[in-house]
Amino acid sequence: MRKTIVICGLTFLVFFLQQCKKEIKPDDPLKAEENEQYSGGQVTVFDESPSAFGSQAPGLSGDDELLFFVGHAFFTENWVTAPSSTKGRDGLGPFFNSNSCSGCHFKDGRGRAPQFDGEVSSGLVLRLSIPGQGSHGESLNEPLYGKQLQDQAISSVLKEGAYTILYTETSGTFNDGTTYNLRKPEYQISNLNYGAMDASVQVSARVARQMIGLGLLEALSEATILSRADENDANGDGVSGRVNYVWDYKNQQTAIGRFGWKAEHPSLYQQSAAALYEDIGISTSLYNTQNCTTGDCSSLANGGDPEIDEDDLLKVVLYCQTLAVPARRNWTDQTVLKGKQLFINSGCVSCHASSMTTGSHPTVSALSNQKIYPYSDLLLHDMGAGLADSHTDFLATGREWRTPPLWGIGLFQTVNNHTFYLHDGRARSLEEAILWHGGEAGGARSKFVTMSKADRDALIAFLKSL
C-alpha cells in the first residue's frame, strides 16, 4: 500500500515536472512586465493624439496646476521687440533664433533640421566654440559670435549670419544583402555681418528635444545616476558611460549634468534660463545682460531688468518639469515583445536603461518615488567618429553624447509630422538612427546589422511602441 502511494507520488511528480517544462517552451507567448506601459510611473497619460507631449502631469498641487498653464502661455506665446504695450513679453533679441520656445519645441516635441536654406524655427541651432576651456570647464565662446549663431535679429540690427547644410550620402548593406543609405550633414556658415569667425571655430548642431518627463529625470538621485557609470569599463562589456560634471551657475558649484545632448545643464532652471538668453534674447536673473554681437547694444530698447521676472521664469521651469510622459502603445503585442527581447539581447539596454526609480524632487512632490521607463542612463558615451563634432561641453568630448531617453520616440510622426532622429536630425528613420551608432555602441550596431529582416522589424516595432 505504502509502495503504491510512493509510486503514485513519483508518477505525479514526473507528470508535474513535465508540465513545468512545457510552461517554458520557447514558442509560448511573451509577456509584458507588469505596469511597463506607465513610462512615467504615475506621471503618465494615455494620449496618442498630436497633443500627446503637451499634457500636465497628474497629481500636481492645486497651485502648480494653475501655474502650469501660465508657464504654458510663456512657452507658446511670442516675445516681441521692446518697447511694446505687452510689457510682460517684450525684449525679444536683439539677436535670436526663434521668438518662442514652442517655435522650436513645436507641440512640446522634437525639432528638425531646416528643409530649405533660411527656414526659420525648424528647431536646429548651431553652437559655436573655439579650442580650450574656461575656469569651470565650460567651452570657450567664439570671440565675436558667442556661444550660438543667431540667424534672426530685430529689424533695427543685422542678424549674425546664416547657414546652409550640405548632406553627403553613403550606403551600406545589412548581412542579409538589403542596402541602406545614410546622410551626413556639413554646415556652411555664410553672410556674417560682424566680421570673420575665428579660424578654429568648432560647430555643434543640435535639434530641440521633446519636453516630456523632464522633471522625472531631474528627480533621479545622483546615486542612481552614478550607479550605472562604468568609466573604465570594469565589467568588460565595451560600454563605459560616465557622468558629465558641469558648472551650476545658480548654486555656483559643480553638479551632475542631465539635460541637453551633451548633458551640459544640471537643472531645468538653468536650461530654461539659457534657452531664454541664447534662443530668444531674453535676460533673466541668471544671465542678466543683453546677448549683444554688435559690441554695444545700449542704444537699443530692452524689455526690463531682467526681461522676464523671476516669478515668471519659475513658471516656465515648472512647465518644463511637469509635462507628463505618454503611455506605451501595443506593449503586449507579440512582435513588440520580441523586439524588446532583441533590444535587451543586443545590448541596447547597457545605455538605454529600461527602468529607474526617482528620488525626491525638491519642489514638485508628484515627481518623487516613481518607477519610470526612460530608456536612458543620462550618461555620456563615446559614439564614434561618425557622430562626432569637435565641440566640448565640460567633460563631454566631441565624440561623447548623453544617451537620449527614448520615451515618446514612436510619436514624433503623430506630434511633429516627421521622423528625424539624433542630435542633428540627420537620421531619417529609426533604422538610420541605429546604423549611426559607433564607438561604445559599435557592438550593438553590429548585432542590428546581422539580424534578419523580421528581427529588425520587430526591434523597430518595439521602438515605435515607446
Taking the least distance from each CB to ligand HEC, the nearer of 25 and 355 is: 355
Q: Which three cell numbers stand for residue 294?
A: 554688435
**Residues 145, 249, 331, 401: which binds Ca ion (CB under 5 A)?**
145
Least distance (Å) between residue 442 CB and ligand HEC: 8
Binding site for ligand HEC (CB under 6 A): 97-98, 101, 103-105, 123, 125, 206-209, 214, 239, 259-261, 264, 268, 271-272, 275-276, 279-280, 316, 320, 343, 346-348, 350-352, 381, 383, 387, 401, 403-404, 406, 409, 421-423, 430, 433-434, 437, 440-441, 444, 448, 459, 463
Question: Which among Ca ion, ligand HEC, none contacts residue 463 (Cβ within 5 to 8 A by kind)?
Answer: ligand HEC
Work out whether 163 is an interface residue with Ca ion (CB under 5 A): no
The verdict on 353 binding Ca ion (CB under 5 A) reads no
DSSP E strands in 324-435: the ranges are 325-326, 356-357, 371-372, 380-382, 400-402
Contact partner, 268, from ligand HEC, Ca ion, none, Cβ < 5-8 Å per class:
ligand HEC
Using the minimum distance from each CB to ligand HEC, give the nearer residue, 12 or 250. 250
Q: Are 194 and 144 in contact (CB under 8 A)?
A: yes
Q: Which amino acid is at 339?
A: G
Binding to Ca ion, residues 263-292 (CB under 5 A) = 281
Select from Ca ion, ligand HEC, none the partner in contact with residue 422, using the beta carbon and a kind-dependent cut-off of 5 to 8 Å.
ligand HEC
CB 261 within 8 A of CB 423: yes
CB of 17 to ligand HEC, least distance (A): 37
163 binds, among ligand HEC, Ca ion, none (CB under 5 to 8 A by kind): none
Segment near Ca ion (CB under 5 A); pick from 85-93, 261-269, 380-388, 446-454 = 85-93
The answer to the question of residue 235 lying near Ca ion (CB under 5 A) is yes
Nearer to ligand HEC, 16 or 167 (CB): 167
Cis bond before residue 306 (omega within 30° of 0): yes
Distance CA 94, CA 293 (A): 9
- Residue 230 engages Ca ion in binding (rule: CB under 5 A): yes
Can you tell me the distance from the alpha carbon of 53 to that of 169, in angstroms, rounded to the nearest whole number? 32
Q: What is the DSSP string of 43-75?
A: SEE---STTTT-PBPTT--HHHHHHHHHHHHHH
User: Under the criterion CB under 5 A, does residue 237 sit at the interface with Ca ion?
Assistant: yes
Task: Give the angle subtended at the CA of 397 by the CAs of 214 and 208, to the nearest 5°.
Answer: 35
DSSP 114-177: -SSTT-TTSSEEEEEEEEEE-TTSPEEPBTTTBTB---EE-TTS--S-EEEEEEEEEEEE-TTS
Could you tell me how many residues of this chain bind Ca ion (CB under 5 A)? 10
DSSP one-letter code for 242: B
**Would residue 282 be called left, alpha or beta, if left means φ above 0 and alpha means ψ between -120 and 50 degrees?**
beta
The alpha carbon of 145 is separated from its chain's Cα centroid by a whole number of angstroms, namely 26
Catalog residues that contact Ca ion under the rule CB under 5 A.
91, 145-146, 150, 230, 233, 235, 237, 239, 281
